[in-house]
Structure 1
Amino acid sequence: MKSLKPLLLPFAIAAALTACQTHDQSAASANTATSQPATPALPPLATFNVSDLDTTKNACADFAGYVNGKWLAANPVPADRTTWGSFEMLDERSQAASRSIAEAAAANPNAQGVEKLVGDFFASGMDTARINAAGLAPIQPMLDRIAALKTPADIAQYLRDEFAAGRGEVFSFGAESDFKDATRKIGFAFQGGLSLPEKAYYLEDGPDGKYKAIREAFVKHVSKQLQNAGVAAADADKQAADVLAFETRLAKASLSPVELRDPNNQYHYVSLAEADKLTPHFSWTEFFKANGVQADGFSLSQPRFFAEFDRMLADVPASQWQAYLRLQLIDGMAPYLADRFNDERFDFYARTLRGQKEQKPRWKRVLDTTEGSVGEALGQLYVKQYFPPESKAEMAKLVDNLRLALKARLENLDWMSPDTKAKAMEKWASFTPKIGYPDKWRSWDGLNTRRDDYAGNVLAAARFNHAWEMSKIGKPVDRSEWGMTPQTVNAYYNPLMNEIVFPAAILQPPFFDPKADPALNYGGIGAVIGHEMMHGYDDQGSQFDAKGNFNNWWTKADRDGFNARTAKLVKQFDDYVAIDGLHVKGALTLGENIADLGGLNVAWDAYQNALKAASKRGDEKIDGYPSDQRFFFNWATVWRRNFTPDELKVRLNTDPHAPANFRAIGAPSNMPAFAHAFGCKAGDPMVRADDQRVVIW
């Protein structure tokens, strides 16, 4: 069972914090809690501190080391994580706060509404004795049905029913705004079905044979998991080989992460009749009926993948389909089953693939499940206790200041024609900011949960959330919806709604502190605000207009000029070596790098405007350092992050964000303001030569 990710991913400031998650997307409720516990002590904040600076290093040569080197050396990745830094420290605080809420809800026998949902998930998930005693029973009916599949028609019907239950396999299907009419929701079918990070892991040996070794480990994992479910060892080995062959065929028909960044590869609208013709062994008309959807068409986003999927329905033996579907079911449900399933899943996906040494404590894993199943219900309780109204008011002011600074930069562009600039300004004027939490909460009426059935709760929520998702298709877009929960330490830009969104949990140090000096706030959350705004003008977001439609608003000459400038940024990041001779992929990370560069420049301008309004110059010292330097110190502090070697290698292939240490230096190295603040000279590593320096927005 694979979770359905957003089909056109919102452009976030950071990659997901957890190494491996299998739960479904979260939502919220209209009900309120009946009680709240006293606020407990939380883990420390990741606040910038001058004592962390390594003054033995030269800021103009190794800025990331100067700001973060001492901290990173003293803060290795904890055994239950694969990364550790500013984001993860805030995530620990968010989890500790969520734990106190969930424990109180679980302890309240009279809990109602969202409190009951959260309490039921947490209490049932912590009942390990009951979960282990249940063994395979929660998924035995699905395994029995898989064992009975004989024909392509049987398999097609099984897949339709699995999607209706919120447990879709092989591909993803969800509701998203129509690229050509962003006011309405349509269905999107998207490639999927792979257990390994991306297609290269199936088709290449990789550096030092790494991918080949991972494939071999994957086959062993599949065999062990099938044996955990009662399959004899010899048969399990054969089925494991069949699973790898099956997924390899899907991989050959799949697009790479770089190719998927192109919106043209994310949208391909067809009528139901056209789709049925493309996949004669899989009726989309019947699929829509099974999922309660009434629509004339949808986006069959990667036609080549779905054509191959249809051929596989026809020519892959039922026994091989059965092996694949068994593995998908068992691995997908493993976190909610007896320990032997969860432990085996962890051993491959987290330990072998990403270098995580230990599992998270049980309470964290159960919170992950609660977050994935009823996350906004938990968020409704979170904001009542942990998000002060004054933070939302201060953030609104900062957003306004950043918007004005961006407007000035757009108006003063010297490389863009008046016609294109007018469209850019139209897009600027229509930005919608969202801060903290949704203005209205989703209803959970009809979702029934229990204190004694963890897997049952997960399955019920999966079906409920899928039906809710399907109910959006064919209807106007609800602009009040959020794509992240309030307790998420992240932020995002959605090009289809032209909105920038800042959940409550990120509005803490080092990003935001109402009591901090302006330099720290503008270098932290100010740059994050600027980053999300600039996603509207990166290589992907710039292909969507002010109304959120996929529509070219550029003259050819302006687009060619933009591409020439961004090509230089691709080259800069291609040149960064991350680990063991492996380079950053400039094309994969381009959108985030554009947003970092533009966002930091916009934040700098807004910070300078704030200084002028306060009759200050930026050379006033706080804790012994000029405020101009403190602006860049906090930018780098945001990007202090350690990785396990294996996690870093996976991210180089799959993550649209460059490794954090390169984000700390990439944008500042292109800014004369940085060189001036630190007295850097031509030839210093942090000073790009004029012909290499990138200026876009």
Structure 2
Amino acid sequence: MKLKFNYLLLAASLGMSVNVFATEGPKPLKPKHKTATPPKKFIDPANMDPSVKPGDNFFEYANGGWLKQNGVPAKETRWGSFHILRQENIDKLIGLLNEVSQTSASQPKGSLKQRVGDLYAGGMDSLTIEKRGFDPIKPDLQRISRLKTLDDFINEFIYERVNGINSPIFRLGVEQDEKNVNKYIISIGQGGITLPDRDYYLKNDPRSKKAQEALKKLAVTLFTLSGSSANEAAKKAAIVYDLEYNWAKAQLSRVAMRDPHITYNKFLITDFERQTPHLKWSKMLPALNMSGQDSILVGQPSFFRVTDSLFAATPVAKLGVYLQWNILRGSAASLSSDFANANFAYVSALTGQKVQTPRAERMSTVVDGNLGELLGQLFVEKYFTPAAKQYMVDLVNNLKETLGDRIKRLDWMSPATKERALKKLNAFTVKIGYPDHWEKYDGLVINRDDYFGNLRAMNKWRYNFNASRLGKPVDKARWGMTPPTVNAYYNPTNNEIVFPAGILQFPFFDFNADDAVNYGGIGAVIGHEMTHGFDDQGRQYDADGTLRDWWTKDDADKFKSRADQVVKQYDAFTVLDTLHVNGKLTLGENLADLGGLNIAYEAFSKTKQGQSANTIDGFTPDQRFFLSWAQVWRSSQTPESAAQRILTDPHSPEQFRTNAPITNINAWYKAFDVKPGDKMYKKPEDRTKIW
């Protein structure tokens, strides 16, 4: 399924969805009774590096002490505030799963605890997984080896889709029509590659070549492990790489795909079929359980024309090799250790991760990713309080009112566009903690002694559930994240901001922390997601989520001019030797950081603490606000991970997420006495102001 959500951080849900709009000033954001926890320093000077001037490198000043004491653990590729909190949540999930799996075998078949517990227990049964080797995929490999014609190939592709088997070449799913958001439509998009981005295939620098060789080595190893001779495995790996290289050349870049109008291409199925005659959509779609439709959304039409030509020009035997490869690479991590180790060697080469993630952590992620709204019920029952939900409701109201005030005061936007912007803001839906109605996964059977079969069953259920939405009313109550997730998102087609329970913990917020810490943490997160509704992508969707222009041309031009300033600022940042931040790829997230921090600071300035000069641990309220922002982004990463993120991640590296927005906020200069001559200083007339 194509995801249009804008996330706080890339990393793949008891509360109500609430529509909120404040009509009064800031409300108290503390519960009536604080939780009984030992006193702690929410801004700890031991984590800082006072030898660095705040105006030279605020990220290092705020986090340097912590960075010196905390490297990247061997099982990770990045390590920081997000990852520590994620680890804490994983540990909580493992505790729940260990408990429930001990009794799940005796629970009623199909119950929450039976399915959650048995899925985890099956994944933890490494002895059985080891004993079975690659037996679970032998029928797939044998079936593919018998393909004779292109029709056989297409039929195999269809079979794999509807039966929950990792399926190659292109994305296929059912989603909201961006220009008719109350209806579902079939949507297809580009694919076909294994490496994280098309540029890995198209560049010849040392990093790209290393990734290419890692992919080829993985292919040779997996084909060899599944029975091919060394010579056969090498030939098959070459076939795979050649096909993937051609698909990489056909793909649009990530920057190009940031424009929703470029990826919105609606065709009558019969018309699109004429452009891709070997892909007989009018016959394929019903076989894919997608019947009764006359139209289809195509993300990248040129990719499918190239794919159709490749099908016509490539011998079926080679296409079959590619299908076998996709079975192998999609299954390797879930098979015996020789397959899993080969897969991890590939992952390690691309990311720098030194040791495999412990099995219990991997299995908790599998359960959360596949049965998240069953496991999520156990999580929120134990770890998410009504007080936390109410805190978020009040804080969202305060920030929503603040953003509204800021829109009204904009000096570059006309009254007509302001009115539409406020209409969109007032139409925001806010989801906090967990869904109103939990998904039951009706019909999904989990067997304790068949881990691989469970993975296939869950994939099959998910595919067919998605396909079954055609012709039904759009379900806007569904969530795109599970409750334990340490993240948040904005979904433009629903015009909604969503905050799972998992992120509502320190360093984002703590009931016992002062307002400066909470506004600099979770307040900026909320402002970030709100701003996504008005970033370079989100601003193109109107109040009901429709992809429709609501701007005057003059206002749009003024917005683009200011956004270009942000692109230029981030383009100048060097991440690793010659690698720079891609200002266009990261623009939406950078705008959200800038807007979110501004909104949070203005809302904080209305609080009692924000209007005082009282210090805590030697820091003024404004200093604590900005230090809280910085400690949220405290993070280190491997060089390999940093290089990969530059190509694939729409988020800037954490040090620039910390440093870049604050250089555009006057209050930061005053709080830390930043002056001309300091490395981060920007003249007042050069400071970017948008929302």
TM-score class normalised by the smaller sequence: over 0.9
Given the alignment of the two structures, is residue 654 of structure 1 paired with residue 652 of structure 2, yes or no?
no
Work out which of the residue numbers 136, 139, 160 in structure 2 matches 1:138: 136
Taking the aligned partners of 1:675 and 1:417, their CA distance within structure 2 comes to 30
Q: What residue is the counterpart of 2:633 in the other structure?
A: 639
Contact 2:485 2:501 (C-alpha < 8 Å) held by counterparts:
yes
- Structure 2 Cα separation of the partners of residues 264 and 447 of structure 1: 37
Q: Deviations over 1:246-279 (max 9, x none)?
A: 0000011101111111112322111221222222
The one-letter code sitting in structure 1 at the alignment partner of 2:153 is I
Match for residue 20 of structure 1? Answer: none
**2:503 paired residue number:** 506
Which residue in the other structure is 1:666 paired with? 660
Query: Whole-Å Cα distance in 1 between the matches of residues 55 and 327 of structure 2?
Result: 53
Which whole-Å CA distance do the structure 1 matches of 2:157 and 2:685 have between them?
55
Of residues 160-169 and 480-489 in structure 1, the stretch that sits farther from structure 2 once superposed is 160-169
Secondary structure of the equivalent of 2:533? helix
CA distance in 2, matches of 1:69, 1:276: 58
Structure 1 counterpart SS, 2:182: strand
| Contact 1:99/1:363 (8 A) holds in 2 | yes
Q: Which amino acid aligns with 1:665?
A: N
Give the partner amino acid of 2:148.
Answer: K
Which AA in structure 2 matches 1:187? Answer: I
Equivalent residue letter for 1:535: H
Using the alignment, how far apart are the partners of 2:237 and 2:522 within structure 1? 47
Which piece of structure 1 moves more, 583-592 or 257-266? Answer: 257-266
Equivalent of 1:53 in 41, 48, 51: 48
Is the counterpart of residue 192 in structure 1 residue 186 in structure 2?
A: no
Conserved? CA contact 1:46–1:510, under 8 Å? no
Contact 1:118–1:370, Cα closer than 8 Å, also in 2: yes
Q: Of residues 386, 393, 397 in structure 1, which corresponds to 2:394?
A: 397
Name the SS for the 2:611 alignment partner.
Answer: coil
User: Which amino acid letter does the alignment assign opposite residue 110 of structure 1?
Assistant: S
Paired with 2:496 and 2:41, the residues of 1 have a C-alpha distance of 27
Tell me which moved more, 84-93 or 160-169.
Answer: 160-169
> What's the offset of the Cα at 1:293?
1.9
CA distance in 2, matches of 1:46, 1:170: 51
Aligned match of 2:7 in 12, 15, 27?
A: 12
**Normalising by the residue count of structure 2, what TM-score does the alignment of the two structures yield?**
0.94
Alignment check: 8 A CA contact 1:510 1:524 kept: yes
Residue 299 of structure 2 is aligned with which of 283, 289, 301?
301
Distance 1:585 1:124 in 2: 43
- Distance in 1, Cα, partners of 2:395 & 2:470: 35
Alpha-carbon distance in 1 for matches of 2:332, 2:112: 26
Instruction: Name the residue aligned to 2:170.
Output: 171
Check whether the contact 1:162–1:169 (CA below 8 A) recurs between aligned residues: no
Structure 2 residue 443 is the aligned partner of structure 1 residue 446: yes
- Counterpart of 1:29 in structure 2 is none
After superposition, what is the alpha-carbon deviation per residue over 1:111-168, rounded to whole angstroms, capped at 9, x for unaligned?
3422111111111011111111111111111111111112111111111111112332
Q: CA deviation at 1:617?
A: 2.2
Which residue is 1:74 aligned to?
69
1:363 aligns with: 360
Contact 1:670/1:687, CA 8 A, preserved across alignment: no
**Counterpart AA for 2:629:** W
Q: Which residue of 2 aligns with 1:30?
A: none
Residue in 1 that maps onto 2:585: 588
Q: Give the corresponding residue for 2:146.
A: 148
Secondary structure class of the residue paired with 1:481: coil
State the one-letter code of the partner of 1:526.
G
Question: Which residue pairs with 2:326 in the alignment?
Answer: 328
Structural mapping, 1:239-278, within 5 Å? 239-278=236-275
In structure 2, the residue matched to 1:472 is 469
**Partners of 1:484 and 1:629 in 2: CA distance:** 33
Match of 2:58 in 1: 63
Q: Would the alpha carbon gap of residues 197 and 45 (structure 1) be closer, same or farther in structure 2, given more than 3 Å must change?
A: farther
- Specify the code of the residue in structure 1 equivalent to 2:631: T
Q: Distance in 1 between matches of 2:142 and 2:635?
A: 45
Displacement of 1:433 after TM fit? 0.7
Instruction: Name the residue aligned to 2:489.
Output: 492
Q: Which residue identity does 1:529 align to in structure 2?
A: I
Residue identity in the other structure for 1:370: V
**Other-structure match for 2:99:** 104
Match of 1:210 in 2: 207
Give the one of 536, 540, 556 matched to 2:537. 540
Does the aligned pair in 1 maintain the 2:86–2:486 contact within 8 Å? yes
State the partner residue of 2:122.
124
The residue type equivalent to 2:204 in the other structure is D
Contact 1:402 1:530 in 2 (8 A): yes
Equivalent pair of 2:43/2:624 in contact (CA under 8 Å): no
Aligned counterparts of 2:582 and 2:373: Cα–Cα separation in 1: 34
Q: Deviations over 1:73-117 (max 9, x none)?
A: 211110001000000001111101110111112101323422111
- For the residue of structure 1 that corresponds to 2:606, the secondary structure is helix
Match of residue 316, structure 1, among 314, 317, 338? 314
- Report the equivalent of 2:686: 692
Choose which of 655, 675, 683 in structure 2 pairs with 1:681: 675
Distance 1:48 1:138, change over 3 A: farther
Gaps of 5+ in 1: 1-5, 17-24, 27-43
Q: Percent identity?
A: 42
Tell me which residue corresponds to 2:372.
375
CA deviation profile, 1:272-315 (whole Å, cap 9, x unmatched): 21222222111222222122223221211110011111111111
Task: Give the distance between the partners of 1:406 and 1:465, measured in 2 at CA.
Answer: 38
Amino acid at match of 2:185: I
Structure 1 residue 690: deviation in Å? 3.1
Counterpart among 411, 414, 420 of residue 417 in structure 2: 420
Q: In the alignment, does 2:617 pair up with 1:623?
A: yes
Give the number of equivalent residue pairs: 662
Q: CA RMSD in A?
A: 1.6
Q: Counterparts of 1:219 and 1:340 in 2: how far apart (Å)?
A: 17
Give the counterpart of 1:84 among 70, 79, 85. 79
The answer to which of 670-679 and 362-371 deviates more is 362-371
Determine if contact 2:373/2:440 at 8 Å carries over to the other structure: no
- What residue identity is the alignment partner of 1:203? L
C-alpha deviation, 1:684, in angstroms: 2.3
Residues 618 and 58 (structure 1), Cα distance of their counterparts in 2 relative to 1, 3 Å cut: farther
Kept after mapping to 2: 8 A contact 1:531/1:596: yes
Is the contact between residue 163 and residue 169 of structure 1 (CA under 8 Å) also seen in structure 2?
no
Bigger shift: 187-196 or 45-54? 45-54
Counterpart residue number, 1:38: none
SS in 2 for 1:695: coil
5+ long unaligned stretches in structure 2: 14-38
Q: How far off its partner does 1:47 sit? A: 5.3
Which of 276, 282, 287 lines up with 1:285 in the alignment?
282
Counterpart-to-counterpart distance in 1, 2:299 and 2:131: 43
2:335 equivalent among 324, 337, 354: 337
Q: Is the 8 A contact 1:246 1:320 kept in 2?
A: no
Q: 1:45 to 1:470 in 2, by over 3 A?
A: farther
Amino acid across the alignment from 2:316:
A
Describe how 1:562-577 pairs up with structure 2 within 5 A. Answer: 562-577=559-574
Partner SS state of residue 529, structure 1: helix
Q: Partner amino acid for 1:153?
A: D
| 1:606 maps to amino acid | A
The 2-side partners of 1:342 and 1:473 are apart by 37
Q: What is the Cα deviation at residue 46 of structure 1?
A: 11
Deviations 1:421-442 (A, max 9, x none): 1111110110111100001101
Q: Give yes or no for the alignment of 1:223 onto 2:220.
A: yes
2:427 and 2:464 mapped to 1: Cα distance? 31
Contact conserved, 1:45 with 1:510, CA < 8 A, in 2? no
* Displacement after TM superposition at 1:476 (Å): 2.0
Deviates more, 1:270-279 or 1:426-435: 270-279
